[in-house]
Chain A
């Protein structure tokens, strides 16, 4: 084993083997985005969640879902960003119901998120609070991947280049309405496909071939 594959192995230590050997064209993806009450990963609540499935270059809009959550956390200044009002939130679905709709995807899909650290913290606490246990999820973080791509290509990360809108601009994707969980989820999936292309990805490649980017992580949630 050469040093490169050793490194890869180290990067990927967490990702289960059944994922690592799959071809990209066979990997079901679920782009997920959340709107939160604040940017503090330890305290923020989930205001809304949006997701859409895709595979091998397609975006299955028939699976697109946008759910407003009846969060108990105060919205504070966040409506300025996501535009949801107290009233819409009050009419939202219970957190548990929304998490239950996401649950089936945990086992079957690789989740695509932009800046997963923040959204992840929120999801993690939500699953815990609702006392829902699910297995680990493989998460592909497009922000991490963009950083990898920019460093590789320009040896630097230009200011504001890794925001979702910034990524889209760099990758020649059309503008999309921002800060709606579903719109951002769709935008994130498009960013992944465009980055995959930029990084010379091929559908016959394995997940393994992208582990060295450190953008794919195995995350465990809701575990006591």
Chain B
């Protein structure tokens, strides 16, 4: 029997989709694979010697011409040759070698054995489609840890000994305000009694309440370990159709508490509404800041489900809106009402409702008229007060000084329209940069009509082709972090790790592209996802591309949120080491798709000129 080489098993265990294989399968793989050192001069010979094999690249850079597909530039971690194995057709395969390197090949028999593993089968199925699909998003769900019961169940178990009478048990439940009770014998759980049992097994049958509780309890109840997650709890509850589950210590079996359907609902929804409620009730800056500071903590402890992450941005933005309104009302209480109609505008991520914990404030004031000196002083004080208040609530001051405390951001309606005309007539790159921030805009307080007038007056300006062409060129300037050979182009963080800024290199690029198509149709809503949803059938962005961009946008956001929450950070520089092999693979596909969308935007709006 031959020996499996460590370096080969190590390699396979680090590369998608083989990373999840058990060690027996990895060993078999390493025993039966063939290693190749592919060079320009031996590539033809070796690929025909190992025809009908799957090739997996360990090092080197190659250009693959397979079947009629477009050429692919590939490097470490990529596979080729699977098309003919999947389709059972002998396609022509030619490999051009840009940099020689090590490649492993796996024969047909072994490949078909591997396909019996569902993750492997799914992976190649998807590669075959050559498209980033919904799976990118659904797959990233599984990386989210569900909260374990030990974190959720905090209350000591309410219990009685099985010798207790029914009436004693009912009293204990009433005193503790619980709807269910554990019945124990020694230290073990022997039964459960619920409100419903007392109704249907005691009152309805007129049972003597002096009898021991053991006569009416549910014996040997289903229990759950405190190591299990809320997800397990839900699964068990729905499977058994029960609403109360005793929680026991994994090792000793001793009861540690009870988890009920209500607990789960509270975990899902309760707390964020509670915090929002606190914000709404706040009557001074102190109570407001105290409530606001609970938000990051809430997200960090509760947002374990991917669906949560998709809405956290919205929740955070809505909370910021609410804080802003509160601050304005505090200011008006102290300084009297505003001397003229105004709109409080928010830009960027708050406007798009995709704020993260690291987002800084971007806001401004729109005034109905050019203010007099006294009026200007009033709005200056308001801007300063609100921006400082937001900073105290944990929303960082804007480094680019895009804040209402800055006089340049307190414009009258006419001046704002004039500004927009300036951007459109001379779309220089600083102007474009401003646009990108100011074009995602909402109003959160003040006079709504004033803001709508501004939007109405600016809309035709933003639809001008030359302006859109300039925006498209600008959107294509930011490069996705992939080299020609589809390797990640990384930055280094302070610890010397390879990191990618998912905001600058991904999310922001999608935002820019989507904004472009939205402006072309005169859509004014700022959120990227709702823009994608509202684009008409005539849009040059096809329905399929829209769905792809949406999935990618969600995927990238989930990754950066996970990074922020798990590490208690507020930056978007995600280290590659935090990603699984499959996520890396999906990330590459995502960046590639963004790149294609960039090219598409340039084609659509500036006639292909960059």
Q: Which residues of B contact A157 (CB under 8 A)?
A: none
A61 and B33: CB pair below 8 A?
yes
Interface presence of A17 (CB below 8 A): no
Question: Nearest Cβ distance between residue B581 and chain A, in whole angstroms?
Answer: 16
Interface string of A193-215 (1 = CB under 8 A from B): 11001000111000000000000
Chain A CB within 8 A of B223 CB: no
- Picked from A59, A62, A172, A193, the residue with its CB within 8 Å of the CB of B31 is A62
From A180, which residue of chain B is reached at the shortest CB distance?
A: B6
Specify which chain A residues have a CB less than 8 angstroms from the CB of B100 in the assembled complex. 172, 194, 197
Interface: B603 (CB within 8 A): no
Q: What per-residue 1/0 map shows which CB atoms of A49-85 lie under 8 Å from chain B?
A: 0101010111111111110000000000000000000
Residues of A within 8 A of B46 (CB): 56-58
Asked if B8 is an interface residue, CB under 8 A from chain A, the answer is: yes
Classify chain B: how many residues form its interface, as a range.
20 to 34
Write out the residue numbers on chain B whose beta carbons fall within 8 Å of the beta carbon of A64. Answer: 2-5, 31
**CA of A190 to CA of B10 in the docked complex: distance in angstroms?**
17
Contact A182 B5 (CB under 8 A): yes
How would residues 33 to 55 of chain B score, 1 for a CB under 8 Å from any chain A CB and 0 otherwise?
11111110110011001100000
Bound state CA distance, A183 and B38, in angstroms? Answer: 19
Q: What does the 1/0 interface line of B4-22 toward A look like (CB < 8 Å)?
A: 1111101100000000000
A203's nearest neighbour on chain B, judged by CB, is B42
> Does residue A174 face the partner (Cβ distance < 8 Å to B)?
yes
Is B5 a contact of A183 with CB atoms below 8 Å? yes
- The answer on a CB contact under 8 Å between A173 and B59 is yes
Q: With A and B bound together, what is the CA distance between A194 and B97 in angstroms? A: 13
Please give the distance in Å from A119's CB to the nearest CB on chain B: 19
- Given the known interface contacts A59-B36, A172-B99, the answer about A203 and B41 at a Cβ–Cβ threshold of 8 Å is yes
Within 8 Å by CB of B37, from A60, A176, A183, A190, lies A190
Residues in A with CB closer than 8 Å to B49 are: 56, 58
Contact A62 B5 (CB under 8 A): no
Q: Which residue of chain A has its CB nearest to the CB of B10?
A: A177
Minimum CB–CB distance from B198 to chain A (whole Å) comes to 66
Which residues of chain B come closer than 8 Å to A187, judged between CB atoms?
7
CB nearest neighbor in A for B46: A57
B237 at the interface (CB under 8 A from A): no
B183: A residues at CB distance < 8 A? none
In contact, B2 and A65 (Cβ under 8 angstroms): yes
Interface presence of A124 (CB below 8 A)? no
- The answer to the question of B58 belonging to the interface, with a C-beta cut-off of 8 Å to chain A, is yes
Among residues of B, the one whose C-beta sits closest to the C-beta of A178 is B7
Contact residue among B2, B34, B42 (Cβ-Cβ distance under 8 Å from A59): B34
Q: Which residues of B contact A62 (CB under 8 A)?
A: 2, 31-32, 34
Q: Say yes or no: A61 contacts B8, CB within 8 Å.
A: yes
By a CB distance below 8 angstroms, the chain B residues around A54 are: 35
| Known A-B contacts A61-B31, A177-B6; A25 and B45 likewise in contact (beta carbons under 8 Å) | yes
When the two chains form the complex, which single residue of B7, B32, B41, B99 contacts A183, counting CB atoms closer than 8 Å? B7
The SS class assigned to the B binding surface is mixed
B600 within 8 A of A: no
Q: Tell me how far the C-beta of A17 lies from the nearest C-beta in chain B, rounded to whole angstroms.
A: 26
CB A176 to nearest CB in B, in angstroms, measures 5
Q: Is B386 an interface residue (CB 8 A)?
A: no
Which of A163-178 touch B at CB < 8 Å? 172-174, 176-177
A95 close to B (CB within 8 Å) = no
Given contacts A172-B59, A176-B7, contact A57 B45 (CB under 8 A): yes
Report the Cα distance A182→B35, complex, angstroms. 14
Min CB gap A34→B, angstroms: 15
B26 shortest CB reach to chain A, Å: 13
Contact call B45/A56, Cβ cutoff below 8 A? yes
Whether the pair A59, B35 counts as a contact (CB closer than 8 A) is: yes
The reply to whether the CB of B30 lies closer than 8 angstroms to some CB of chain A is yes
Q: Does B212 contact A (CB under 8 A)?
A: no
Contact of B7 with A177 in the complex, beta carbons under 8 Å: yes
Q: How far is the CB of B314 from chain A (nearest CB, A)?
A: 44
The 8 Å CB contact of A202, one of B34, B38, B41, B99, is B41
Q: Is the Cβ of B37 less than 8 Å from the Cβ of A194?
A: yes
Complex CA–CA separation, A63 to B4 (angstroms): 10
The reply on B102 being an interface residue by CB < 8 A is yes
Pairwise interchain contact A61-B32, C-beta atoms closer than 8 A: yes
Residue A186 is within 8 A (CB to CB) of chain B in the complex: yes
Residues of A within 8 A of B4 (CB): 64
Residues of chain B within 8 A (CB-CB) of A193 are 37, 39
Q: How far is the CA of A172 from the CA of B10 in the complex (A)?
A: 18
User: Within the complex, what minimum Cβ distance (angstroms) separates A97 from chain B?
Assistant: 15
Alpha-carbon separation in the docked complex, A29 to B11 (Å): 24
Those of B65-112 within 8 Å (CB) of chain A:
99-102
**Chain A residues whose C-beta falls within 8 Å of the C-beta of B39 in the assembled complex:** 57, 193, 197
Please tell me which one of the listed residues A190, A194, A201, A203 contacts residue B35 in the complex, with CB atoms under 8 A apart.
A190
Residue of B nearest to A186 (CB): B5
Q: A183-B6, A186-B5 are in contact. Are A57 and B102 (CB under 8 A)?
A: no
A206 CA to B50 CA, complexed, in Å: 23
Closest to B43 in A: A57
Kindly state the separation between the CA atoms of A152 and B37 in the bound complex, as whole angstroms: 23
Give chain B residues whose Cβ lies under 8 Å from the Cβ of A173.
59, 102
Residues in chain A near residue B58, CB distance under 8 A? 174
Interface centre among B7, B8, B59 (most CB of A within 10 A): B7
Cβ of B242 to closest chain A Cβ, rounded Å: 52
Measured in the bound complex, the distance between the Cα atoms of B10 and A106 in whole Å is: 31
- Interchain CA distance A59-B100 in the complex, whole Å: 15
- Shortest distance from the beta carbon of A33 to any chain B beta carbon, whole Å: 12
Cα(A201)–Cα(B101), bound, Å:
15
Are A190 and B3 in contact, CB atoms less than 8 angstroms apart? no
> Which B residues lie within 8 Å of A50 (CB)?
3
- Is A58 a contact of B34 with CB atoms below 8 Å? yes
- Among B31, B42, B59, B102, contact of A56 (Cβ-Cβ < 8 Å): B42
Given the complex, which residues of A lie within 8 Å of B59, measured CB to CB?
172-174
Tell which of B31, B35, B58, B100 has the most Cβ of chain A within 10 Å: B35
- Which residues on B sit within 8 Å (CB–CB) of A190? 35, 37, 102
Q: Are A66 and B3 in contact (CB under 8 A)?
A: yes
Q: Which of B5, B39, B50 gathers most chain A CB within 10 Å?
A: B5
Closest 7 CB pairs of A and B: A59-B35, A193-B37, A66-B3, A57-B42, A197-B39, A176-B7, A174-B59
Given contacts A174-B11, A186-B35, A194-B100, 7 further A-B contacts (CB under 8 A): A64-B2, A64-B5, A66-B3, A183-B7, A190-B35, A193-B37, A194-B37
Chain A interface residues (CB < 8 Å from chain B): 25, 50, 52, 54, 56-66, 172-174, 176-177, 180, 182-183, 186-187, 190, 193-194, 197, 201-203
Return 8 A-B CB contacts under 8 Å, by A number: A57-B38, A58-B46, A61-B2, A61-B8, A180-B6, A190-B37, A193-B37, A203-B42
Interface residues of B (CB under 8 A from A): 2-8, 10-11, 30-39, 41-42, 45-46, 49-50, 58-59, 99-102
